[in-house]
Amino acid sequence: MSGGDPQLVQLLTPEGERVEHPDYHLQLSDQEYRDFYRDMELIRRVDFEATALQRQGELGIWASLLGQEAAQIGSGRALKPQDMAFPTYREHGVAWCRGIDPINILCTWRGNDQGAWDPKVHRCQLYTIVIGAQTLHATGYAMGIVKDGKVGGDDPAKNEATIVYFGDGATSQGDVNEAFIWSSVFAAPLVFFCQNNQYAISEPLERQTRVPLYQRANGFGFPGVRVDGNDVLATYAVTTAALDRARSGDGPSFIEAYTYRMGAHTTNDDPTKYRIASEVESWKLKDPVARMKSFLIRQQLADNDYFDSVRADADALAAKLRSEVLALTDPAPLSMFDHVFPNGSAELDAQRAGFARYLDSFADAPAGGSR
């Protein structure tokens, strides 16, 4: 087995060499291979631009996906239109695959709204900031589509599956373990997709678990697999198989995408305080975007003109995104109470009224002086 780890599913070596796996076979068109690369290159450019915008004070905070492009594009492209995704707060590549305009993501991080896309349209729920909470949401949703008769039907093209994303740190949360139990017992059509980027903020993996994360699934009664999360082809193949299993009614699966967060946890974080430079440098040699580019060159699937065109598209996308962010206007303060509950609530109404009184208090403040 390639990759130096007998348990790691890999179809592309870090040098971009195509290898085979006995359980996962993949044959795509030349254009599909190129599209994987293009998606990763563009979403990385979005990530760079968003980081720069935050440093310039245009965003409140940003959670970079740098290094995790293959895990997100590979799994996101494995989804069928009818499937539903439950992201955490770093799944910009998954959102891209679901057709969500990046400006909608940046609106959230700028504080202009609380989520600027329609989950029903894009089949992708809004970002969840609370660690691991979305796993229970996804479990309930998955159990619901079983009751709706959308799983295990005679026409595989119409069956649905659910996927939920979380990080290695979230696996220590009670919500996640409760989701494992419920989804297992009720055979929920759910794929747990863990991006193990090696750190729960500053806590390294060895302080989080004594066994590989994917092996935990066996204790809950469903299969787990570790995939090279920097290999977009392997990630796509493994996720496709797990989603097919879910749609057919065979229950949940756990995928551990073994990857690395090359940037900070968020722009509020300084990773030089808890990890050494040589570790980061070693993972740069496994860069998922460079790996796919090397594969395309080795297989003669793309030339310099192609790579130049992708770079030009990325530059244009970044310029458009910057222009759109700078054109955003601040929302009305009370609008944060809108769209929380469909029919409102007494508690929310009280909070809105209290905040309105607070805002009105500034109208009586003496000009140039403090109250």
Question: Phi and psi at residue 279, in whole multiples of 5°?
Answer: -65, -45
Question: Phi and psi at residue 173, in whole multiples of 5°?
Answer: -80, 145
Active site residue 92: no
CA distance 163 to 189: 9
Q: Name the nearest CA neighbour of 127 among 86, 83, 160.
A: 86
Asked if 313 contacts 39 with a C-beta cutoff of 8 angstroms, the reply is no
User: Which helix (H) or strand (E) covers residue 294, if one does?
Assistant: helix 288-298
DSSP state for residue 198 in the 8-state scheme: S
Rounded to an integer, what is the distance from CA 15 to the centroid of its chain?
Answer: 25
Burial class of 165 by CB neighbour count within 10 A (0 to 12, 13 to 18, 19+): buried
Rounded to an integer, what is the distance from CA 248 to the centroid of its chain?
Answer: 24
Choice among 38, 77, 226, 265 that is catalytic:
265
Residue 162: strand pairing partners: 84, 190
Active site residue 261: yes
CA distance 261 to 131: 17
Active site residue 122: no
Choice among 25, 274, 339, 358 that is catalytic:
274
Residue-wise burial string across 121-149, b where 16 or more C-beta atoms lie within 10 A, e elsewhere = ebbbbbbbeebbbbbbbbbebbbebbeee
- CA 91, 94, 99, 102 dihedral sign is positive
Choice among 34, 38, 245, 261 that is catalytic:
261
CA distance 121 to 85: 12
At which residue do the structure tokens 């790579």 appear?
307
Which amino acid is it at 294?
Answer: S
The set of catalytic residues is 261, 265, 274
